[in-house]
Chains A and B, each alone.
Chain A
Amino acid sequence: MSVTSPQPGWWNTPLHKEEKIWITIAFVWCILITLAMPAWHLFGTQNAASEYYKISTEDFGFLTDAFIEKYTVGEDSGVPVVAPPAGADIFLRGQQWGWDPVLKLKQGSTYRLHLSSVDVNHSMSLLPMNMNFKAVPGWDNVLTITPTSSGSFNLICNEFCGIGHHSMNGKIIVDS
């Protein structure tokens, strides 16, 4: 009974065969899942970034403004559209409530995307790929990205960031 003290000597009761088999399979499975993560870093193509820097929200805002000023090519729904050259350092700023600028990228080119927030926590969600990365104030989350398909992609925020949270979105355009 689970509500009474076990028989003396319970620690030495041998395991039943079926239970041994089950635990062995479960343990092997746990180890395999664990090893899958480092293995994916070696053989997989998509991994979360592990490049990051501390940066003040003021500095990040300053860098983003300079980036926008340098490469602006137009405007879309009130948000500046920026077309940086291939291989450039590009900036995406989360703030209540929008992602700016709109990034105009080239399919197959590689960029270093600096993702951060200048106010509260945000999280960038790229649709319809459904890829999600955090934008934390005070931290520059650096993602090395290569767009593999062209078209227009939505960005939404998936970290609650105040009453206007659902209205926070943005856009990435990829030209072929």
Chain B
Amino acid sequence: MASGNFRTCPTTGFKIHIPAQTLIQTNAVTAIVFLLVGGILGLGMVLTRWQAVHLLNDEWFYRLLTLHGIAMLVAWIIFFEMAVLYFASAIVLSSRLAAPWAGWLQYVLMLGGAALTAVQILLGNADVMFTSYVPLQANHLYYLGIILFAVGAIVGCIVFFATLVVAKTEGTYKGSLPLVTFGAAAAAIIAIATLSHGAIVFIPTWLWAAGIIPMMDAEVYRLLFWGFGHSSQQINVCAMVSVWYLLGTLTVGAKPMNEKVCRTAFVFYILFINIASEHHLLTDPGLSAAHKTWNTGYFMHLAVLASMIHAFSIPGCIEVALRKKGYTRGAFEWLKKAPWGNPGFSALALSLFGFGFLGGITGVVYGTEQVNIIAHNNLRIPGHFHATVVAGTTLAFMGITYYVLPLIFRREVAFPGLAKLQPYIFGIAMYVVSVSMMFAGGFGVSRRSWDMNGVDGPFQVNFGPIVDMALAIMGIAGVVACIGGAMYCIIAVATLLIGKKIEA
């Protein structure tokens, strides 16, 4: 490889492969564009579910809710994860990226797929929600778009693994993989397994929608879909936990307390999460109680154990690092003196708390067989996953952006004062959104419903003023969260356009 293809990072000392850098930049910027789109749609969602405002009409609510799910859960997160994968392989290992052309293939397939799907939704050809359960049918191009996107993501994972091989054979690092790369590898392994489920479920569904083969059984679809739909969330968890460790190192110089424990926890994610996806089917016909208990309980709780390990290990390594800096007075001086004004650190702390306490605990509780009867498909569920993937994963990715901007885009973060506040506004508002959703869900308010009062139906449904209040709080906090998200997009875009250049 020509040495002209590398630069040395003055802050970290990493040798940075320029084609890898360009791919990271492109994927990250595309991710942020989807976040912006999804955020605007999210505003429409909260302002419609806030019953007093009821902004959108029924048709557009459902249509844009479908797009909100695709833009956020699929496009924003997976594009950003591609950037994380290239960073954790080529940059962290100071290696060249294997086959940059394949990296571009990943990008083109994912962008083309996302665009095709989005257009089909906006044309009104796919009012089926993110889950697209059969026999509800979308235009076949909608499924094709998702398939192309998934194939692109698989290509990205292959480039990641190939880069690990290149780094090993070319000797760019000695000994074992760094923890961040190890965590990213766990994410990529789960991604391959998960996206294969996606192929198994979406290819026949696509052919069915195109009129070529008969429909698969509705319950079989649900089983296969969740092998894709929930396991893919474990890609996010692994990527997010890796980013947590990375932020711990970048913000306070934290060093994993025990590498064996951290890595074993990542392996637990790989081994035990896939089967646990069946917790979506706890109130379904077609599976016995023994089956449901076994697959939601034993295996899922070993994956939960992995999260419990990280929940100790990450604050622990931060405490150790801060105590080493001399903050040793009392039990909590380290916590008081932590760099709360650094958006990377505050994003890490808020993400950790939101994911673990709000998202993780509710996930475990709602996922137990009997409790699921009072949680299935009501607002408790979006309350749970807005804590995990928004207050958790999205906020962690926002936090790492404040380091990616200077390190990879080589620009100083614009509006540093705004950046200091951004994680607090976004994170705390998302906590409130999540908790108010869970609260309303406790009264049985359905998710994915344009109106909860039975309008146009044969009977009137009344939830009472306390639920109206919960949804109003959700609406107000949702608007604040959108402002926090907009701040992030503005800071990122302004940094790229007018941020002061950092000379290497």
Q: Which A residues are within 8 Å of any B CB, using their own CB? A: 1-8, 10-11, 13, 15-16, 18-19, 22-23, 26-27, 30-31, 33-38, 40-41, 44, 46-50, 52-53, 76-79, 97-98, 116, 119-121, 123, 125, 127-134, 136-142, 154, 156-171
Contact = CB atoms under 8 A, between A and B. Distances in A.
Interface string B426-466: 00000000000000001110111111101111110100000
A131 B373 contact: yes
A3 B59 contact: no
A47 B12 CA distance: 56
B24 to A, nearest CB: 15
Contacts of B282: 48
Secondary structure at chain B's binding surface: helix, strand, loop or mixed? loop
Contact of B218 (A13, A46, A121, A140): A121
A33 B297 contact: yes
Ordered nearest first, which 7 A-B pairs have the shortest CB separation?
A52-B285, A130-B444, A167-B456, A30-B301, A141-B285, A158-B446, A34-B297
Nearest to A140: B285
Contact of A165 (B62, B179, B258, B302): B62
19 contacts: A2-B246, A2-B248, A3-B249, A10-B259, A30-B308, A33-B364, A46-B373, A48-B370, A77-B459, A121-B218, A125-B378, A127-B444, A132-B374, A133-B376, A138-B218, A154-B459, A160-B449, A165-B62, A166-B450
A31 to B, nearest CB: 7
Interface of B: 12, 58-59, 62, 92, 127-129, 131, 133, 135-136, 173-180, 217-219, 222, 245-246, 248-249, 253-261, 281-290, 292-293, 296-298, 301-302, 304-305, 308-309, 312-313, 316, 364, 368-370, 372-378, 442-444, 446-452, 454-459, 461
A157 B292 CA distance: 23
B293 A37 contact: yes
B483 to A, nearest CB: 28
Contacts of A30: 301-302, 304-305, 308
B284 A134 contact: yes
A23 B260 contact: no
Secondary structure at chain A's binding surface: helix, strand, loop or mixed? mixed
Contact of A6 (B259, B369, B442): B259
Contacts, number: 257
Nearest to A141: B285
Contact of B297 (A37, A46, A50): A37
Nearest to A171: B459
Given A16-B258, A26-B308, A48-B369, A169 B248 contact: no
A98 B292 contact: no
A167 B129 contact: no
Contacts of B461: 127, 154, 156, 169
A61 B310 CA distance: 51
Contact of B370 (A3, A46, A156): A46
Given A163-B62, A166-B450, A138 B370 contact: no
B285 A156 contact: no
Nearest to B177: A5
A27 B268 CA distance: 13
A2 B249 contact: yes
Contacts of A18: 316
A48 B292 contact: yes
B302 A6 contact: no
